[in-house]
Amino acid sequence: MQQFSSLDTPCLLASWVAVGVFDGVHRGHQALLTHLAAGAHAAGLPAAVVTFHPHPAVALGKVQPPFYLTSPQQRAEQLSSLGIDALVTLPFNASLAQVEAEAFMRQLIRALGLRRLLVGEGFALGRGRQGDIPTLQKLGETLRYSLEVVQPQQSADEIISSSRARALLTQGDLPQVAALLGRPYRIAGPVVHGDGRGRTLGIPTANIAPWPEQLLPPAGVYATWFTLKNQRYPSVTNIGYRPTFLAQAPSPRVETLVFDFERDIYGDDVELDFITRLRPEQRFPSPAELIAQIQRDIQNARETLSHDS
C-alpha cells in the first residue's frame, strides 16, 4: 500500500476514494472499504483512502487522549489488509477545518483522480460539515465524479460506530467490542523495564508500553493473547495502578504474565489481544493474598482461552 501525507501534489491518475477517520476500522468501516476495493479493482483502478490524524475531535479540543481505538500504524495495517492501495493521512488542524467542501473535492480530483466517492449514511465533509450527501451529489455532477452511499452495519440492532466501541471498551465489555471490530481489541508496543516486583513475587511479567494516545480497557485483570514475532501465547494481563503496593500511581501500567514462557524480550515489540475481563483491580491486605489471587487469575485465564483458540 502506498502512503502519502498531502494532497498538494498528484498521487494517482485515477481512483475510487473513501474519506474518513476510520478509527478502529470496525465492521462498518470494513464493509465500506471492502466494497470500495472490490469496485475499484473491478474497474481496473486503485482504491484510495483519505484519513486524518489527529482525529478532528482531538485537534479541535473536543476530547482529550487517550481516545483512539487504533494507532495510525494499526489503522494503516488494517486498511492494507482490506485491499486498499493508497492511503493519504492528512494532518488535521484549524486550517484544514476551514477548507470548503468544493475546494476539498477539487483537491481529491487533482491529487487522486477521483472517479467515484464512497461514503456512509450521514457523511459530511468540509467547513461546518457543509459537504453533506446532497451537496456532494450535486458537486459530482459538476466535477464529474459519482457518489455511492453504503448502508451502515448493525450489531445487536444498533449501528456500529467507533464511539459505541469506545463506550463499550470503557465499560470493560471486551466481547462486545470484538463483535463491533470483527476481531479482539489490540494494543501494541515494546516490552519495557518495570519495578521488578513480579519477579520478586515469583510471577515475572512483561511490562508493555502501548501508544499513550490509545484508549485502554479499564483497570482490571484480563484473559489475553500475547503475540511476539507472529507467535501467539496465552496470557493474563493486569491494567492498573498497583494499589497493593502504591497509595497512588500516576498512570496505569500494562503487565502481562505469559504462560509457559521464559525469554528475555526487553525492547521487543509485542501485541496484546484482550478477550475478556476476569475481574476489576483490587487492593490486597498482603502480597501473599495477591499471589494467591493471581494463581486463580491464571487458572481462569487458561480456562477462558482454551475456548478461544
Report DSSP letters for 278-302, one per residue. EEE----SSHHHHHHHHHHHHHHHH
Same topology, domains 2-159 and 184-306? Answer is: no
Q: Is CATH 2.40.30.30 the right assignment for the domain spanning 184-306?
A: yes
CATH fit for domain 2-159, picks 2.40.50.140, 3.90.1150.10, 3.90.1170.50, 3.40.50.620: 3.40.50.620
One digit per residue, pLDDT tens: the chain, 309 residues?
999 999 999 999 999 999 999 999 999 999 999 999 999 999 999 999 999 999 999 999 999 999 999 999 999 999 999 999 999 999 999 999 999 999 999 999 999 999 999 999 999 999 999 999 999 999 999 999 999 999 999 998 899 999 999 999 999 999 999 999 999 999 999 999 876 555 666 688 999 999 999 999 999 999 999 999 999 999 999 999 865 555 455 679 999 999 999 889 999 999 999 999 999 988 888 888 888 999 999 999 999 999 987
146-149: Cβ within 8 A, 24+ apart? 146/115, 146/116, 146/117, 147/116, 147/117, 147/119, 148/39, 148/116, 148/117, 148/118, 148/119, 149/119, 149/120, 149/121, 149/123
- Cβ distance 225 to 264 under 8 Å? no
Q: Is the pTM here over 0.95, yes or no?
A: no
Each domain of the chain, given as residue ranges in start order, spans: 2-159, 184-306
Beta bridge partners of 189: 270
